[in-house]
Amino acid sequence: MKFLVIFCSFLLFGACTKITAEENDFVQKTCGLNVTKQDPITERKNYTFFVAVYFRTHFMHRGEPTPYTYTMPGVIISPKHIAIQKYCESNHRQLLKFDFDFILIDKKFDAARKFVDPFSKITILFGCSNANHVKMMILTLKKPLQLNKDVGLACLSNSTKNWLGIYDQLVFGADVSGFMTYKDYFPVACAGDTPLVCGRAAFFEDGICNKDTGGCSFAEVNKRMTLLGIFVSGTIDCAFSSAGITRSVFLNVARYTEEICNATGVCINLDSTKLVTTTSGSKE
């Protein structure tokens, strides 16, 4: 009962959930560029690929299904796709609803929010099994987003080495008062060769909170804003000392670009290394 792998509320054509090769060319050319807003009023939430995903689920409380509403940071990776930390429902999953919003400075979290149900498909990479740490899911929009000065795309990291190689990272998520925002982070070493990587807030007491929200880590790679990591675990109170927690854990997104490509049609060019192999292979 605990394993919600994929659910589709509106899946008419498999093809409509992926972008085409032409659309992917467009995504690869434009992602990560011009993604900061110029308007100073929006300064707190400057990045146009950053959205708040809302979800509502029902838990049984004194025998009654009782609604709970949450929000989590998501990132626009194509006009049809939003990447986000995975959420696995443990019961009453048929009552789970999703919605999203662009991040607006004055927008307060609204527990009574009306849900418009904008997604046609929810894909949880590797499902909900606890045996792996791949905490990522992809929401497919029924109607593609119009890209403009307020709505942009983030690129996907094309190398697992980007994580430790880039000192200046931004982690998007909820601050201690529950507002969506972003904070400066830097990478720190984690044990072992797992899909997980670690980071820490540059200002010790001022990180992103691990309530229901998690976060996503970004940095500029070749002058484009690039999604490096999806939040896995961290601190409840946003600080990196009180609870003895010294780092947050993220999924290294670059490790799953093939899965993302299969699920969405958003395919980064990983071929620079493969091409060399193919060429030398064919010469032999």
Ligand X SMILES: *[C@@H]1O[C@H](CO)[C@@H](O)[C@H](O)[C@H]1NC(C)=O
Binding residues (CB under 6 A) for ligand X: these are 33-34, 36, 38, 43, 46, 158-159, 222, 258-259, 262, 270, 272-273
Question: Phi/psi at 197 (nearest 5 deg)?
Answer: -135, 165
Answer whether 142's CB lies under 8 Å from 99's CB. Answer: no
> Closest approach of Cβ 265 to ligand X, in Å?
11
> Closest approach of Cβ 205 to ligand X, in Å?
18
Minimum CB distance to ligand X smaller for 36 or for 66? 36
Q: Where would I find the beta strands (DSSP E) of the chain?
A: 6-8, 50-61, 64-78, 81-84, 97-102, 119-124, 137-141, 155-156, 169-174, 180-188, 196-201, 215-221, 224-233, 248-252
Minimum CB distance to ligand X smaller for 38 or for 130? 38
Minimum CB distance to ligand X smaller for 151 or for 270? 270
> Closest approach of Cβ 36 to ligand X, in Å?
4
- Within 10 A of 166 (CB to CB), how many other CB atoms are there? 18
> Closest approach of Cβ 166 to ligand X, in Å?
12
Q: Could you tell me which of 4, 24, 35 has the C-alpha nearest to residue 260? A: 24
> Closest approach of Cβ 195 to ligand X, in Å?
13
Minimum CB distance to ligand X smaller for 14 or for 63? 14
Minimum CB distance to ligand X smaller for 55 or for 218? 218
Minimum CB distance to ligand X smaller for 1 or for 41? 41
For residue 14, give the DSSP letter: G
List the helix and strand counts (H, then E) for the chain. 4, 14
Strands 137-141 and 180-188, sheet pairing? unpaired
> Closest approach of Cβ 31 to ligand X, in Å?
11
Minimum CB distance to ligand X smaller for 54 or for 182? 182
- Supply 62's token pair: 């004194």
Question: Phi/psi at 252 (nearest 5 deg)?
Answer: -80, 100
Please list, in sequence order, all residues whose beta carbon lies within 8 angstroms of the beta carbon of residue 121, skipping any fewer than 6 positions away. Answer: 6, 8, 9, 10, 11, 17, 139, 140
> Closest approach of Cβ 69 to ligand X, in Å?
28
